[in-house]
């Protein structure tokens, strides 16, 4: 029997982290003490209050059933309560909320609800891989919008050709931005709404890092912008905010018709998010005010250690205002991939090459703040040996 893969699989970019993992494992097999600052998987444990809520729910028969589309009404209510308190936006718990198996799943599925073959999706570059993979699986085309340092890593809407804009169905944006750590401005979001209305484009805002900002900064929601609920939805994740990456829980909120389209796709490809995990998510959101500041304080200390250490050894890097990443220009004479390999070979420190996140990210590398302070200090010391 001959096994052949679909042409769509052939259109997917290689999964960067698989190659990084291979190189990392080679070094570990050789006895190297590797410090992995590549993948954004928090080393912090999920808070006990969330874990206990899940344990109690799992032991209860009513939480062991199919969730189906509606799922746990308590989770939906917790979402809109938190969203209203945090961003001042009122939402309907049924029509304007969609629980997700992590925000990645919803991001990957939304193109299936709205794209016809050949339609365009506008994606930032660098980008989160699900923006592209979801578009490919839906038979669409991707137009990349470069995020440039001189533009504060904001999308230049005026640079999008009108011929592309008129063929576009969805625009993905992501602020606070992974990997650049850029924050959006109020004027930028206003311009995005105007663009969406002019070209009839759905705005899908990936706001996974909204709660992970530093120095007292609070990132806005796109849905706070006048007119945003007419044109878009926003994706949120509990993964980084509450150190719940493996739990696979998030949600989408926003325009009811857009939410309905995403929900219809999901009802045909999954049976909903485990009810016990939805219960845990409800508890997380109810206790956000006490849990999130503790997490932010830990990451802010880590950020300062990394940035100050990098600057001390000659790297010109900004202190990020949000996300869990430091975005750093590679040294002169290197490309991002060969710099990453050199760093791993000479120091045992794993980072992410920018080119793996998009062509516009060539010349940069990303450091994830996913290690205790002592390990970050050790990583900085190793940088000094280069």
Q: Check residue 329 and give its pLDDT.
A: 96
**Residue 320 contacts residue 327 (beta carbons within 8 Å):** yes
**Residue 297 contacts residue 369 (beta carbons within 8 Å):** no
Q: Check residue 385 and give its pLDDT.
A: 83
| Angle at alpha carbon of residue 262, lines to 260 and 268, rounded to 5° | 105
Share of the chain above pLDDT 70, in %: 99
Q: Check residue 18 and give its pLDDT.
A: 73
Nearest CA to 36 out of 25, 50, 48, 49 is that of 25
Domain with CATH 3.90.1150.10 in the chain: 7-45+290-383
CA 292 to chain CA centroid, nearest Å:
17
CATH architecture observed for domain 48-287: 3-Layer(aba) Sandwich (3.40)
Query: Per residue in 88-100, pLDDT tens?
Result: 999 999 999 999 9
**Residue 292 contacts residue 44 (beta carbons within 8 Å):** no
How would DSSP label each residue in 140-167? -EEEEEE--GGGTT---GGGS-HHHHTT
Q: pLDDT band at residue 339, thresholds of 50, 70 and 90?
A: very high
Query: Per residue in 220-253, pLDDT tens?
Result: 999 999 999 999 999 999 999 999 999 999 999 9
Q: What one-character DSSP code corresponds to residue 138?
A: T
Q: pLDDT band at residue 19, thresholds of 50, 70 and 90?
A: confident
Q: What is the mean pLDDT of residues 160-174?
A: 98
- Reduce the DSSP state of residue 342 to 3 states and report it: helix
Q: What one-character DSSP code corresponds to residue 176?
A: S
How many angstroms separate the Cα of 202 from the Cα of each of 129, 167, 305? 19, 12, 40
Q: Check residue 12 and give its pLDDT.
A: 87
Is 130's pLDDT higher than 90?
yes
Q: What is the mean pLDDT of residues 318-347?
A: 95
Query: Per residue in 264-316, pLDDT tens?
Result: 999 999 999 999 999 999 999 999 999 999 999 999 999 999 999 999 999 98
Domain with CATH 3.40.640.10 in the chain: 48-287
Is 20's pLDDT higher than 80?
no
Determine the topology of domain 7-45+290-383 in CATH.
Answer: 3.90.1150
Nearest CA to 363 out of 338, 332, 330, 340 is that of 330
**Residue 124 contacts residue 178 (beta carbons within 8 Å):** no
To the nearest 10°, the Cα dihedral for 209, 349, 152, 288? 20
How many angstroms separate the Cα of 194 from the Cα of each of 87, 185, 235, 272? 21, 15, 20, 34
Q: How far apart are CA 144 and CA 358, in angstroms?
A: 9
Mean pLDDT for all residues in the chain:
96
Q: Check residue 47 and give its pLDDT.
A: 98
For the record, the structure tokens of 303 come out as 């950020």
**Residue 233 contacts residue 266 (beta carbons within 8 Å):** no
């Amino acid at each position: 029997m001959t096994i052949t893969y679909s042409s769509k699989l052939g259109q997917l970019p290689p999964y960067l982290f698989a190659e990084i993992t291979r190189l990392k494992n080679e070094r570990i097999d050789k006895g190297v003490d590797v410090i992995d600052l590549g993948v954004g998987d928090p080393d912090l444990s999920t808070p006990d209050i969330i874990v206990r809520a899940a344990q109690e729910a799992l032991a209860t028969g009513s939480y062991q059933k199919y969730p189906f589309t509606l799922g746990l009404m308590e989770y939906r209510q917790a979402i809109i309560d938190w969203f209203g308190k945090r961003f001042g936006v009122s939402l309907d718990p049924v029509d304007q909320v969609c629980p997700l198996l992590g925000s990645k799943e919803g991001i990957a599925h939304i193109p299936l609800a709205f794209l016809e073959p050949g339609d365009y999706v506008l994606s930032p570059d660098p980008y989160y891989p699900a923006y592209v993979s979801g578009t490919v699986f839906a038979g669409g085309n991707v137009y990349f919008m470069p995020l440039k340092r001189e533009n504060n890593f904001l999308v230049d809407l005026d640079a999008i050709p009108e011929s592309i804009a008129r063929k576009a169905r969805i625009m993905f944006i992501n602020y606070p931005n992974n990997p650049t750590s850029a924050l959006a401005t109020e004027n930028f979001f206003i311009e995005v709404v105007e663009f969406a209305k002019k070209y009839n484009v759905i705005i899908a805002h990936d706001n996974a890092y909204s709660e992970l900002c530093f120095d007292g900064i609070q990132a806005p929601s796109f849905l706070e912008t006048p007119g945003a609920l007419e044109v878009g939805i926003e994706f949120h994740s509990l993964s980084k905010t509450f150190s719940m990456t493996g739990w696979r829980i998030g949600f989408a909120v926003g325009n009811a018709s857009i939410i309905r389209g995403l929900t219809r796709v999901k009802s045909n490809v999954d049976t909903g998010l485990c009810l016990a995990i939805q219960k845990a998510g409800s508890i997380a959101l109810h206790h956000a005010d006490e849990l999130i500041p503790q997490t932010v304080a830990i990451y802010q200390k880590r950020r300062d250690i990394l940035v100050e250490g990098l600057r001390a050894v000659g790297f010109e890097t900004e202190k990020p205002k949000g996300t869990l990443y430091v975005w750093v220009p590679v040294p002169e004479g290197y490309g991002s991939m060969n710099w990453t390999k050199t760093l791993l070979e000479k120091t045992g420190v794993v980072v992410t090459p920018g080119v793996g996140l998009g062509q516009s990210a060539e010349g940069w590398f990303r450091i994830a703040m996913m290690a205790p302070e002592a390990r970050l200090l050790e990583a900085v010391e190793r940088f000094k040996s280069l």
